[in-house]
């Protein structure tokens, strides 16, 4: 048992990675018990294990930590950025550790409040692996679930212009000192007004 399937991980990138980092423990009962022990308790403390997600939303909670991001298990080309959620799994019921890794059970994460409501992620473990990840949105506004799913602003497409407008300065890719000499910016600097 190693990482959860990409399809499962892809549903909630941040939390899945968080838990995913704890998977891959060697098949040993003690380690599995230890793992479940680790995830229980301290519900208010974020547990940043992996870093980096494919869900760059500035308003959402991101995993903390300054190390390098681990490559995501799922594809990152999505139509809209996913929310990240830092969740601490809290054990609600347990059973005997399996020989392959995680202790079976349902682990509700903490509730994350973001711009359009609150999000709670719940992870179900069975057979030593994550068998389900569910998201639930809880808000007082009936339309907010729709907002959660599809309210993000988009860039608007337009024709690419090619103007010779009067300008004071140019923003572009960093030119080398040599390339500067023949650049539009150099022409402006020479003209001096």
Partner 1 sequence: MAAARLGLRRVEQIMGTAISLHIADPLPPDELAALADETFAWLREVDRRFSTYRADSEISRLDAAAVDLADCSPDVSAVLDACAGLWRATGGWFDVYATGRLDPSGYVKGWAAQVASDRLVAAGAGNHCLNAGGDLRVRGRPASADKWRVGVRHPWLPDRTAWVLEGTDLAVATSALYERGLHVIDPYTGHPATFLRSVTVVGPDLGVADAYATAGVAMGEAGLNWLATLDGYESAAVCEDGRAFRSAGLPAVDSQP
Per CB under 8 A, the list member of 2, 5, 64, 99 interacting with partner 1 is: 64
Which residues between 88 and 117 bind partner 1 (CB under 8 A)?
none
Phi, psi of 80 (to 5 degrees): -140, 145
Per CB under 8 A, the list member of 24, 41, 43, 71 interacting with partner 1 is: 71
142 binds partner 1, rule: CB under 8 A: no
The dihedral formed by the CA atoms of 83, 87, 54 and 156, expressed in degrees to the nearest 10: 10
Return the exposure string of 74-113: e unless at least 16 CB atoms fall within 10 Å of the residue's CB, then b. beeeeeebbbbbbbbbebeeeeebbeebbbbbbbbbbebe
69 binds partner 1, rule: CB under 8 A: yes
Per CB under 8 A, the list member of 66, 93, 140, 142 interacting with partner 1 is: 66
Where along the sequence are the contacts to partner 1 (CB under 8 A)?
Answer: 51-59, 62-64, 66, 68-69, 71-72, 76-81, 84, 152-177, 179-180, 182-189, 192-193
């Amino acid at each position: 048992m190693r990482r959860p399937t990409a399809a499962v991980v892809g549903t909630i990138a941040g939390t899945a990675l968080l838990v995913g980092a704890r998977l891959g423990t060697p098949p040993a009962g003690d380690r599995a018990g230890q793992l479940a022990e680790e995830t229980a308790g301290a519900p208010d403390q974020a547990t940043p294990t992996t870093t980096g997600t494919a869900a760059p939303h500035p308003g959402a909670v991101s995993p903390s930590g300054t190390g390098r991001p681990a490559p995501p298990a799922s594809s990152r080309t999505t139509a809209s950025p996913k929310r990240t959620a830092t969740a601490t799994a809290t054990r609600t019921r347990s059973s005997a550790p399996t020989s392959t890794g995680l202790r079976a059970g349902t682990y509700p994460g903490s509730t994350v409040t973001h711009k359009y409501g609150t999000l709670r992620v719940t992870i179900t473990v069975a057979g030593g692996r994550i068998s389900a990840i569910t998201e639930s949105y809880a808000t007082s506004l009936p339309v907010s679930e729709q907002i959660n799913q599809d309210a993000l602003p988009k860039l608007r497409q337009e024709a690419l212009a090619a103007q010779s407008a009067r300008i004071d300065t140019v923003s572009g890719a960093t030119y080398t000192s040599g390339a500067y000499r023949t650049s539009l910016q150099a022409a402006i600097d020479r003209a001096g007004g």
